[in-house]
Chain A
Amino acid sequence: MEFISPEGLRLDGRRPHEMRQLHAEVGVVAKADGSALFEMGNTKVIAAVYGPHEVQIHSQQLHDQALVRCEYSMAAFSTGERRRRGKSDRRAMELSLVIRQTLEAAILTHLMPRSQIDIFVQVLQADGGTRAACINAASMALADAGIPMRDLVVSCAAGYLNSTPLLDLNYIEDSGGGPDLTVGIFPKLDKVSLLQMDSKLSTDLFEKVLTLAMEGSKAIAEYMRQMLLENTQKLAFARGTLKR
């Protein structure tokens, strides 16, 4: 299948190094301590954070750090083909684990011993790159909840199809059979906290694709930071602590 036209455009009209339209909102779930909506093109994810609060299952309590838990779920209407997915399917469990580990690395858990932080991620629409969108949404929700973090965690995917590195694959490109690489970074510390790739890729190409994904992540980080700043300014105006 041709993923890139002779003019160098992808199936949805993007250039190989172009990201989809980003949209983020903070504070979308009124009852949660922190929440965020994150959209990358047609992929749409909501994350809610509850906590830090008392540990619910006493035996899970950690005496020197906070317990971080994560649950990933997909809405029945999120995929093109309607399908009911259980919360306990293996893909969902793996994703919950990946999201939890990636974010736990950023949270200053030692500041909140004997407490628990719940992260819930809900996919409303899946069109490729859900892993990255989930991490970005959860990261913003944690920031909205005021949970102390080393840095934002930002994630972006990249792939390699028709001998071209492509940024931010959509569903059709994702199912194209080429390698799909998801990276999660701390943009300010310049460190990688998540790295996953399937299929095969030569080492020098891998480096190219990885650099592309990292650059994409940094662009997303810029946007996320700006959205969080705008939200904080809005709150400060509302409170009267910031004057125009």
Chain B
Amino acid sequence: MSEIFGIPVAVILGQLTLGLVNGSFYALLSLGLAVIFGLMGVVNFAHGAFYTLGAFAALLGLQYFGINYWAALLLAPLAVGIVGIIVERLFLRHLYRLDPLYGLLLTFGLALIVEGSLHQVFGASGESYPVPDSLAGVLNLHFMFLPLYRAWVIVASVVVCFGTWFVIERTSLGATLRAATENAPLLQAFGVNVPILKAATYGGGVALAALAGVLASPVVLVNSHMGTSLVIVVFAVVVIGGMGSILGAIVTGLALGVIEGFTKVIYPEASNIVVFIIMALVLMIRPAGLFGKE
């Protein structure tokens, strides 16, 4: 087998593929953050908590109600989306006229409450969700053996991300969303119920986070803090891609996962900080982000 800089190509390709799996989660999560920020101006710090809630919903659904993986993939995001809509109606909508800092503080507080409560009830150890039988195999990619489930994560995330992009950029519902992002008061003066549109968008954005949580549940330990570390990286992804840019969030999410994987091969010690180094560089050169306008 050939080598690059003394590292076997198979190892590099393997890490890149695993990076793509992480990138899939980054993309799904940053997509929701970008949509929410674009339309509502809310920096949703509770995003990681909704991701955690999605994973818990799947796990508890299985343990207590026998809801299988495929149903959970649909039901958990739906349930978490409804929770999101309730949060928007009860709290967030009162903050739109204020500085974005208030929304950030509110969602940060929410995240602490959710994670603290889960910790209290379920403890810190965590459990893993069984891989569904139909996805239990291993794919032989010749340079590596990729668990079928991880391949599924990549495919599902990419399909959902580009599906969301398609809805936003190519449909009339998406045109309404883009218009609301640009000038919401005028849109409301045309007869569009903008308050409901905002609530639904928040619900949809956090449902994407919950979907990522369900997808992640068989590959990570489901515990109360699974979202905490992830959401920090995801915020860096959104900053790099440009706040409010849909395509930017997707592409940057996937790309950073791959870059992280590559770093693990050539200099493992830096793999946890490479995203933040890139963020710092991007902020210095293009403060609006790679895909941001301004």
Tell whether A and B belong to one assembly.
no
Q: Which residues of A contact B (CB under 8 A)?
A: none
Q: Which residues of B contact A (CB under 8 A)?
A: none
